Amino acid sequence: MTMDESPDAWNSREGLEEEVPPSLVPAFKAALKDLVHQLVIGDYAGLMTGGHASNTTAQQLPQVFAEYYPCTPVDLPDDAWKFASAILVDANPEDIYWHVSIDLWTLEQGRSDLTLEVDVRSTPDGITTRIDDLHVM
């Protein structure tokens, strides 16, 4: 992050690329794509053991796709980022924390009504993600 990337500029609500400091956008995208890919392939245990979801969340995720929203999730297309939003929660330089909402895409619908809520942190060790919620908007 550079000095000209003020916290006020991060919360413009114009898509992920406009809300996150440009220096962090590639890492955010990679981390979120990896997280969504784990959902796509059904690696719920991997989400839990990797610290990307709580035990309860990991148990609930398959139920969302099986019972409440029976569609086939697919990897995020490049267009997904303009529909994502990131809200800065804490600007501590050692642990910058955003809450990200990103629409999921499905084989049947393309952009779906499913929204993945993710806590994303930028620390000196890199970017981490943790699923907060998955719901129908």
What's the Cα-to-Cα distance from 98 to each of 12, 33, 35, rounded to whole Å?
Answer: 13, 16, 16
**Tens of pLDDT, residues 108-124:** 999 998 999 999 999 88
Domain ranges of the chain: 12-136
**Tens of pLDDT, residues 11-64:** 334 578 888 888 889 999 999 999 999 999 999 888 888 888 877 787 788 888
Answer positive or negative: Cα dihedral of 78, 26, 84, 58: positive
